[in-house]
Amino acid sequence: MKSETLISDFIESLDSEKAYSDNTCRAYRTDLNAFAAFAVKNQPARRAHRSSGAKYPRFKIENVDALTIRLYLGYLYKKNAKTTIGRKLSAIRSFFRYLVRSGIVTDNPADQILSPKQEKHIPTYLTVDDMFRLLDSIGHNSLLDLRNRALFETLYSSGIRVSELAGLNEFDVDYTAKVIRVMGKGSKQRIVPIGEKALQSIQAYRAGLGKNTLPDQSVPCGPLFLNKNGTRLSTRSIARIMDKLARQCALAFPVSPHAVRHSFATHMLDAGADLRVVQELLGHKSLSTTQKYTHVSIDRLMEAYDKAHPRK
């Protein structure tokens, strides 16, 4: 069976059995196609025939060995970050795991390969004062001002991902219960609390829409946040808006929507929120993913200790 067919079958299984998002499936397909193209040129049988001058045998996915994968990782190390290499290796490992389950190969050559050790990065976040300054800098005069304020008040109030923010529909907001329904990774829904200021900003924005004749504004199941054409605002547009606002505020470093999510988590933990509660709010599958925010708090505690303790 051709590698393209096997990859397509694997991607279909991710979609149907594990409910992976379209973005994740697309990334897996891209990574595996790139690996297959490399493996065609570096398969074990081809390496053996290089010096003999004999005709290269047809590529078979079951002939891929650990050395092929190591060669591929060595090739990737020349121009990719460790996080990218780790993700690509994870895709290869999952693919061969699927092939083993399907009886196409007998063992997984990627199991012999260790993932690259990842560098630990402390998440970029804003202080509470800077976060308030950023939000308060957004005006109230135009419909775009109202939308932008609603956007980032919602993002900071709930800590949701920018893709989840862009995917919100009008009916996902429960003003009475003060919660929003979010479609997270893997098409998993969760209910997230949202603060009064964010709800007021959303209501002001939607009221402003009522005075305009945008195509989707009267559709209850339509997108919550719209672009100037009246269609759903994209994640890329949200990032551009955030970058522009951050520059206008003269913040010390560039701010992305994800930095607002980092700020939400950090401020919650600093204020005494339970780690598992923050994990649930962020929609993290693993607690270890959320624990990176505790490093921020610990670093701040150590800094305060070094500055204040008389005998350190």
Q: Which residues are catalytic?
A: 161, 185, 258, 261, 284, 293
How many angstroms from the chain centroid is the CA of residue 211?
A: 35
CA–CA dist 12, 5 (Å, integer) = 10
What are the residues facing 177 on neighbouring strands?
Answer: none
Record the tokens describing residue 58, joined without a space: 């047809």
Smallest Cα–Cα separation from 287: which of 265, 254, 311, 264?
A: 265
Residue with the two structure tokens 């304020």: 149
Residue 36: which residues within 8 A CB-CB, separation 6 or more? 3, 4, 7, 61
Rounded to 5 degrees, φ, ψ at 256 are -105, 165
Query: Under the phi-then-psi rule, with left for phi > 0, alpha for psi from -120 to 50, and beta for the rest, what region is 127?
Result: beta
